[in-house]
Amino acid sequence: MNPLSPTDENRLDAAWLNEVQWDARGLVPAIAQDAETGDILMVAWMNREALALTRSEGRAIYWSRSRNRLWRKGEESGHVQTVREIRLDCDNDVIVLKVEQLGGIACHTGRRSCFFRVLRDGQWQTVDAVLKNPDEIYQ
């Protein structure tokens, strides 16, 4: 079988990738959600290649806007996200990944989730603990 047959699901022009409403930069936001607890862990961006690779490799791969390259989540920290499910919303412009978060830490601050601040009394108050010192994560 031709590895580049028109029906190949991994092609960057595959139908399922074309259904996504990529923005002007060719990106969509992706929400990583803990598949067990339902906690929202983080939000990052994906381009076509990132989403195609996330599907084929079964781990979360994002597009880093700051570094302008693919970002295999966990490539430095070891905090890989194993992908259990990929969902798309009704507008085709947001992805949800249900993931198993290796190490139990998604945030670069060493916390479980990036959403560790809650609005209370007119202030963003930190309510979740640092589980590991970032200096120990990124050596």
Give residue 87's Cα distance to chain centre. Answer: 12
| Pairing mode, strands 95-101 and 28-34 | parallel
Q: Does 29 bind its own copies (CB under 8 A)?
A: yes
| Pairing mode, strands 61-64 and 69-72 | antiparallel
Q: Does 25 bind its own copies (CB under 8 A)?
A: no
> What DSSP string describes 80-123?
-EEEEEEEE-TTS--EEEEEEEGGG--STTSSS-S--EEEETTE
Q: Does 130 bind its own copies (CB under 8 A)?
A: no
Q: Does 108 bind its own copies (CB under 8 A)?
A: yes
Closest to its own copies by CB, 87 vs 102, is 87
Closest to its own copies by CB, 15 vs 75, is 15
Q: Which residues bind its own copies (CB under 8 A)?
A: 9, 14-16, 19, 29, 31, 33, 37-40, 42-43, 55, 85-91, 94, 96, 107-109, 111, 114-119, 121-124
